[in-house]
Every structure is written in structure tokens, then in C-alpha cells.
Amino acid sequence: MRVKVSLNNETAEIAAGTSLSEAIEQWQLGGKKIAVAVNGEFVPRSAYPLTQLAPGDQIDIVKPVGGG
């Protein structure tokens, strides 16, 4: 079964029971320097495998931008 979540304000579908780390790999962001919030709460990288995504979750992924 597939469920819908919001990824950076766009609808995305994932398999039910998908962990955050699995979703990040599915979205081809694995190994990249990113910061992730689920439902407005920052999720530390160490918690990605333990964080189960649920229908309707809002996932925000940002990449750092260098500047000066």
C-alpha cells in the first residue's frame, strides 16, 4: 500500500511503513548534506532509520547554501 506525504510542499507517495532513511534514499538524497524536519520538528541524522513516516506527514528537506 502506498501513502501520500508532503515533501517540500509537494505531494509524494511512499510505501506504507517507510522510514525516513528509506525515503531519503528513494528520493535520491542519500549521502548528501541535508537537514530534515518532519511535521516542523528537526530530525537528527542518527534518528532517520528510526523515524517511521505516516500518511499526511509534512517533510521539509533543505540543502545548505554557501555564501559570504
Tell me the domain boundaries of the chain: 2-62
CA distance 13 to 1: 10
Question: 2-62: which CATH topology?
Answer: Ubiquitin-like (UB roll) (3.10.20)
Rounded to a whole number of angstroms, the CA Rg of the chain reads 12
Q: What is the pLDDT of residue 64?
A: 81
pTM of the model: 0.89
- Tens-digit pLDDT profile for residues 22-41: 999 999 999 899 999 999 99
**Cell numbers placing 5:** 506525504
Q: Percentage of residues in the chain with pLDDT exceeding 90?
A: 90
